[in-house]
């Protein structure tokens, strides 16, 4: 379990994350929501152990992240970046293999791990393509496969954590659902925990169990996705929302526009 308490992060004199509490639980997907500049990516960076908070703590298994070394932490959590600038013409398969390059599993397991990760991200047909020749969405899916390979290679008894920063930003609708369904399958099968920064409330309502709504660095709402109400959304985003419940009992949010 990842437990964040009273996190505050200041970047360049601006408070970007302000006294945020968050908890990622095994078997659940948490959507991190909020307007542009609300501090979603910074919060994800804190949960990943990338930034040190000015105050507050993030702990994994009850141990503060600052006391984990990079290598052990990488066995337990993977991050899918918003956009990663690859400097050289590596092939898709080489990038996926980088997921476990520093802690390689036994040679006979590698091909299966790579194949499964590429299948989940639907990039099997791109394996030998060079990264710079891919579209933005294909690259994003490659980094998703890399993260899956990282966690599959290091799978242990304790639940792992997958952090995704706007993973659907440059994906077509089919692949948006494909990727999030793959995250859900991973969470269910491996008992892992996931946090996803999302803008699309429909996708969040469809795939997330919990939500954390940020507004200018502060928590505006926290809890089960079902408990999110339209009024808070209006306050945070400044436009009207309708909250609907479909025939399966799922909530839907529709922006009314200006």
Partner 1 sequence: MIRPAFVLLALALAATALAALALGSAAIPLASVAQWPFSPETLSPRDRLILENIRLPRLVLGLAVGAMLAAAGAALQGIFRNPLADPGLIGVSGGAALGAAAMIVLGGDHLVGPLALPLAAFAGAVTATLAVYGLGRRHGMVSPPSMLLAGIAINALAGAGIGVFSYVGDDVQLRQLTFWTMGSLGAAGWNTLAPSLPLMLIAMTGLALLATRLDVFSLGEREAFHLGLDPRMMVRLTVGLTCLGVGAAVAAAGPVGFIGLVVPHLIRLSLGAGHAVLLPAAMLAGAILLVGADTAARLVAAPAELPVGLLCSLVGAPFFLWLLRR
In the complex, the residues that contact partner 1 under the rule CB under 8 A are 45, 48-50, 69-75, 77-79, 81, 84-91, 94-95, 98-99, 101-103, 150
Closer CB to partner 1, residue 50 or residue 172?
50
Closer CB to partner 1, residue 48 or residue 203?
48
Angle, in degrees to the nearest 10, between helices 136-153 and 107-120: 140
CB of 43 to partner 1, least distance (A): 15
Other CB atoms within 10 A of residue 162 CB: 25
CB of 237 to partner 1, least distance (A): 28
Closer CB to partner 1, residue 73 or residue 155?
73
Q: Which tokens in the block code for residue 188?
A: 């269910």
CB of 137 to partner 1, least distance (A): 18
CB of 2 to partner 1, least distance (A): 15
Spatial contact of 122 and 141, defined as CB atoms under 8 Å apart = yes
Spatial contact of 34 and 236, defined as CB atoms under 8 Å apart = yes
Burial (CB < 10 A; 0-12, 13-18, 19+), residue 117, is buried
Closer CB to partner 1, residue 67 or residue 71?
71
Closer CB to partner 1, residue 70 or residue 174?
70
Burial (CB < 10 A; 0-12, 13-18, 19+), residue 1, is middle
CB of 143 to partner 1, least distance (A): 8
């Amino acid at each position: 379990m990842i437990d964040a308490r009273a996190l505050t992060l200041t970047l360049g004199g601006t408070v970007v994350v302000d006294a945020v509490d968050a908890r990622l639980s095994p078997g659940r997907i948490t959507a991190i929501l909020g307007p542009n500049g609300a501090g979603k990516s910074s919060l994800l960076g804190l949960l990943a152990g990338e930034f040190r908070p000015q105050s507050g703590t993030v702990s994994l298994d009850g141990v503060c992240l600052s006391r984990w070394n990079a290598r052990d932490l990488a066995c337990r959590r993977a991050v899918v970046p918003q956009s990663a600038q690859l400097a050289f013409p590596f092939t898709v398969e080489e990038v996926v293999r980088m997921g476990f390059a520093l802690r390689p599993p036994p040679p006979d397991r590698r091909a299966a791990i790579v194949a499964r990760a590429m299948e989940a991200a639907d990039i099997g047909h791109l394996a030998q393509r060079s990264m710079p020749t891919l579209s933005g969405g294909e690259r994003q899916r490659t980094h998703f496969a890399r993260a899956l390979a990282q966690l599959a290679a290091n799978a242990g008894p304790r639940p792992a954590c997958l952090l995704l920063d706007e993973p659907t930003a440059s994906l077509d609708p089919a692949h948006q659902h494909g990727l999030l369904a793959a995250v859900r399958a991973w969470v269910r099968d491996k008992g892992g925990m996931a946090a996803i920064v999302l803008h699309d409330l429909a996708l969040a309502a469809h795939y997330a169990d919990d939500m954390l709504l940020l507004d200018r660095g502060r928590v505006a709402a926290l809890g089960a996705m079902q408990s999110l109400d339209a009024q808070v959304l209006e306050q945070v985003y400044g436009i009207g929302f309708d909250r609907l419940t479909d025939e399966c009992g799922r909530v839907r949010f529709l922006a009314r526009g200006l």
